[in-house]
Amino acid sequence: MHTPQTGIDMQELARRIDALRPTLLRLAQLQLRNPAWAEDAVSETVLAVLQGAQRFNGTSQLKTWIVGILKHKVLDQLRLHAREPTLADTGDDGEDDLDELLFKGNGHFREMPEHWADPCSELQRDQFFAVLEACLDHLPNRQGRVFLMREWLEIDSRVICQELDIAPTNLWVQLHRARLRLRECLQSNWFGAAPR
């Protein structure tokens, strides 16, 4: 294979892909919540990257380009498995005790919500992202998938309903619970935790 002037050196590309692989796998797993599907998505991404290397425009960031491809491959996996019971599983998010935890019977907050300091300052950003990912990982599978479809794949709610063949009200409930749960997890493990 010849090396095009505007393309990228194939050996260098292979090295960069190798370095990125753990990140790609982590992101795919966070979204798909199934190691086999995540592996498939990453393998297909690597293949597409190698096949499309000639078209890579050296001025755009390599990681941006590769993660963009990964997002498409991850969505393909979600579509492929959309009708499987593992994806439509229930029982992991049926409870409403989060509401109970936060509100009194009359609908008032049990406790005053705390002031949250900006978690993304240079000094603590990486630590915060680690906690955030742990909290995302902790979401029940169904909630986690729709939440990351919104917040990582950045798919419109309407389109998520079509892709997963679920009713909007069902989606709203899942997302509402995911957001409440994430808020609670971050309150306990970051914002309200002992000073670092």
Q: Is residue 185 involved in binding another protein (CB under 8 A)?
A: no
Task: Please state, in angstroms and rounded to a whole number, the distance separating the CA atoms of residues 134 and 188.
Answer: 12
The stretch among 2-10, 74-82, 88-96, 146-154 that binds another protein (CB under 8 A) is 146-154
Residues between 6 and 35 that touch another protein (CB under 8 A): 16, 19-20, 23, 27
The only residue of 76, 152, 163, 166 in contact with another protein, by rule CB under 8 A:
152
The long-range contacts involving 118-123, CB below 8 angstroms and separated by at least 24 positions, are 119/190, 119/191
Do 116 and 128 meet the contact criterion of CB atoms below 8 Å apart? no
Reduced to 3 states (helix: H, G, I; strand: E, B; else coil), residue 149 is helix
Q: From CA 154, how far away is CA 71, in angstroms rounded?
A: 10
Provide, rounded to whole angstroms, the least separation between the CB of residue 93 and another protein: 15
Q: Which residue has the tokens 């990257």?
A: 49
| Residue from 116, 127, 138, 159 binding another protein (CB under 8 A) | 116
CB of 91 or CB of 107, closer to another protein: 107
CA 164 to each of CA 76, 95, 117, 177: distance values in angstroms, whole numbers, following the listed order? 12, 22, 36, 18
Task: Report the residue from 77, 140, 150, 185 that binds another protein according to the rule CB under 8 A.
Answer: 150
Q: Which is nearer to another protein, 84 or 96 (CB)?
A: 96
Smallest gap, in angstroms, from Cβ of residue 64 to another protein? 5
Query: In sequence order, what are the residues at sequence separation of 6 or more whose Cβ sits closer than 8 angstroms to the Cβ of residue 73?
Result: 28, 40, 41, 42, 44, 45, 48
Chain residues binding another protein by CB under 8 A are: 16, 19-20, 23, 27, 61-64, 67-68, 99, 102-103, 106-109, 112-116, 118-120, 125, 128-129, 132-133, 150-152, 154, 157, 171-172, 175-176, 179-180, 182-183, 186
